[in-house]
Structure 1
């Protein structure tokens, strides 16, 4: 039974006891039915502090929850001084969803959820305008091409920038998902989504241009895609990226298989298997530290003493960009080079609406110069 199939308890109906942590576990388990792992994880991060607060308040049963508890939690979060309005909006909105589940489960008084005061956030406030600028990305790739050619960092940075893929998608890539040579196309003959007649298959394969990657949803072996099966897609890559991948696979990739017998493209250096999501995130942070790619520190820090150089503390550098900002920068770069939003959405497994409203963060004068080229076309004979 889905959450929305529960009936809210009628007024005056006796509530059923349920501990806050038990309710959270049940709610998150239900979310896994139709939400991605990363979304469920974000829900856990947002609601867990609320559950811990209730436990500190001595609330062992959600039946006892009332508006005063919500007010105290809200006041505590707002007075902490380290929470942004948009963050609070997301957290309180998710807590409301959790409490609405509690109401449907007959564990929370029906009026409680509506007493959460969620701050209103404008469209501009919801959108983080920060991105990895194109020139910085080019400088990073140029440094890696010169000093760390075909290293895992080089491959990762190239993939982040050129494909704009989510880190879960990059982590999911196996060697067999990389198509660089004509012989690699034979693997497609055995893919279930190409279950067509021989003549049709030959026609399809005959029109395929190398090199490309094929992102696959494999949840049973620990590499789900955020969009699940609908996120499966082939993505063309440049000849330059293909060359880097070819040399990395042949000479520098750490050999071995993961626990499921699969050969990851981005193999772990510390253990047999594939790199972790946190490992990709840390590398994305570190590669955007200027001092790591041959640049002077713009923050007047001594790299020898900088706490952002400590492993696990890379995000403390003001210049770093998260993988999401690599993705935002990549979308903007694609748009600046004339890519239609529809093609970007297909390539990066997102929606045209998100491409236009969230990911595309153009420099207005630069984008105007691109439109100028289209203006000139109006008068071509």
Structure 2
């Protein structure tokens, strides 16, 4: 991969090289997981399975397609050098994206999150429902959907508002990076009150197939990731709180039913809520290390992939440190008189 980047670097702008490195690092992670060590270990079977790995990472479909494309381009280069068998790149079938998926902003904007959560909190009908509680938790923690579905009722302490994320692969709830993503987080007062209300009024006392009690169960037991996505598509429908931005009316909109909510241009899946939450937490002034500890990531990943402030937010983050600087008030040590105290 380094050879490929070095030889192709002259054809790319800086941002493209960073993008290629990021995308190829994902393939490196996949190869490490599958114990693929050399080019001779690559087969159509394990190259094709890279798509399954990407789909399990809670990434936007447009991101999956982009990383598939980068891997295919790299594999074509290897084929041209006679390093792998011809046609190996064909094992990756790139996702077909519609126009909305190619152009949509895969982040729940903090202003939209504020609008939605204010609606849920003030609604006698919706406050404390499952979709409200899940949205509160995803937003205030910034966790992945696989982390949320792994939570048991016993992982929440109503006395302190603390949540425990634990890796339990033997009972089908592995965290993305296993034990390294285990952590405790705490909820602030309002999300905690919402979760308490959900548990008291809405949560069904259902066990999963391993006898565990999911914090957010379905009638069948523990939700699958597609179910969590469906909840969030419904929870982020703007017409719940305000007039439809697309000129439709909620009573007869084809996007309102559960099976069609993902087609609404304004709804967002869990990974978009995670991105928005991480940006919001950074805008609040939390450093990347703190946010990473809560969200289950590394500070470098937070900075590179998830933290997506706009220019105004970026300015506000550094305003306090930079708005008072002045040449006569901030002297370099070499400018000081050697004899001065």
TM-score scaled by length of structure 2: 0.70
Kept in 2: contact 1:288–1:320 (CA 8 A): yes
Shift of 1:366: 3.2
- CA offsets 1:113-170 (integer angstroms, 9 cap, x no match): 48999x9xxxxxx998541111211111111112222211121010110000000100
**Distance (Å, rounded) in 2 between the aligned partners of 1:114 and 1:259:** 39
Shift of 1:294: 2.5
Match of 1:238 in 2: 188
Selected match of 2:226 from 278, 283, 286: 278
Shift in alpha-carbon separation, 1:220–1:339, aligned structure 2, 3 A: same
User: SS of the counterpart of 2:201?
Assistant: helix
Structure 2 unaligned spans of 5+:
1-33, 95-101, 330-341
Q: Describe how 1:170-319 pairs up with structure 2 within 5 A.
A: 170-181=148-159, 210-268=160-218, 271-291=219-239, 293-319=240-266
User: SS of the counterpart of 1:274?
Assistant: coil
**Distance (Å, rounded) in 2 between the aligned partners of 1:361 and 1:248:** 31
Shift in alpha-carbon separation, 1:90–1:177, aligned structure 2, 3 A: same
Shift in alpha-carbon separation, 1:316–1:374, aligned structure 2, 3 A: same
Shift in alpha-carbon separation, 1:266–1:38, aligned structure 2, 3 A: farther
Shift of 1:27: 6.9
Selected match of 2:137 from 145, 156, 159: 159
Name whichever of 248-257 and 329-338 sits farther off. Answer: 248-257
Shift of 1:353: 2.3
User: SS of the counterpart of 1:260?
Assistant: coil
Match of 1:192 in 2: none
Kept in 1: contact 2:165–2:183 (CA 8 A): yes
**Distance (Å, rounded) in 2 between the aligned partners of 1:266 and 1:216:** 15
User: SS of the counterpart of 1:308?
Assistant: coil
Q: Which of the two has higher C-alpha Rg?
A: 1
Selected match of 1:135 from 111, 119, 130: 111
Shift in alpha-carbon separation, 1:377–1:263, aligned structure 2, 3 A: farther
**Distance (Å, rounded) in 1 between the aligned partners of 2:115 and 2:190:** 16
**Distance (Å, rounded) in 1 between the aligned partners of 2:52 and 2:90:** 28
Shift in alpha-carbon separation, 1:224–1:114, aligned structure 2, 3 A: closer
Q: How many residue pairs align between the two structures?
A: 279
Kept in 1: contact 2:234–2:258 (CA 8 A): no
**Distance (Å, rounded) in 2 between the aligned partners of 1:213 and 1:266:** 13
Match of 1:91 in 2: 68
Shift in alpha-carbon separation, 1:166–1:143, aligned structure 2, 3 A: same
User: SS of the counterpart of 1:235?
Assistant: strand
Match of 1:4 in 2: 37
Shift in alpha-carbon separation, 1:159–1:38, aligned structure 2, 3 A: farther
Structure 1 unaligned spans of 5+:
10-19, 32-36, 44-82, 103-107, 120-125, 182-209
